[in-house]
Amino acid sequence: MPRFQEVAASQPLTPGGGGLVAKRYSILQNLGRGSFGSVFLVQDAKAADGEKLKVLKQIPLGDLRPDETVRATQEAQLLSQLHHPAILTFYHSFLERAAFCIITEYCLDRDLDCKIGEVRRAGRSLPESQVVDWLIQLLLGLRYIHDRRILHRDLKAKNIFLKRNLVKIGERPLSQLSFWSFVTFRVFSVGSNRFGRDQNLWPV
C-alpha cells in the first residue's frame, strides 16, 4: 500500500545523477519546474505491476507550512485508497532531500486537451464512437469517487489523461500540490452551494 514515510537526505535530484530515490526510483528526465518544485520521469526498480515508468513530484518542505504538511499526509492517505481504471494511480509518498515527494502513474499519451488540439490542428474530428467510449469511462470514474464522498475540484480536459486509450482522471503534475484537487464531500458538506456532485458533471 502507498505510504508516507521519511527517507534520509542525499544529493539534489538530477537526471542521470546516479543513485536511487527512496532506494527504488532512478531519475530519467526533468518534466518541468514551477514555483512549487519539480516534476521528474522516473523508473521504478521495484515495480511489481510492470509499470516501471512513473512520475515523481518534488515539493520543497520550505514552501509548505506545518499545517500544509499535515494536510499533505492526509490527502496522500486518501488518494492511496482510490483504485479504479479511470483514476490516475497514486503509488507512494515520502520525505526526502527536505522535500515532500509524490509518485503517480505516468501517462505517455498525455492529456485530453493535447489530444483535442492535435486533432483540430490536423483539420479532423474525433470519431463519435471514441468520444462515447471516453465519456463512459469518465462517468464511471466520477461515480467511483462520488460513491466514496470525494470530489474533484478542477475537472477539465487538461486534467483528464489518456493511457493506451484509457481515460485517467487526475491533475497536471505542474499544478500546485496536484493531489489537493481531490477533496472529501465531508469537508465542503454535501448539498452546499459551494461544492457537490453536480460540480463534477458540468464540465462533462
Question: At a CB cut-off of 8 Å and minimum separation 6, what does 179 contact?
Answer: 72, 75, 76, 79, 90, 102, 171
Q: How far is CA 191 from the centre of its chain?
A: 26
Residue 109 annotated in active site = no
Q: Are 137 and 167 in contact (CB under 8 A)?
A: yes
- Supply φ then ψ for residue 74, to 5 degrees: -65, -45
Calculate the alpha carbon distances from 155 to 13, 40, 84, 100 in Å. 31, 23, 17, 24
- Among 111, 113, 154, 198, the active-site one is 154
Dist CA 64 CA 35 (whole Å): 12
Active-site residue list:
154
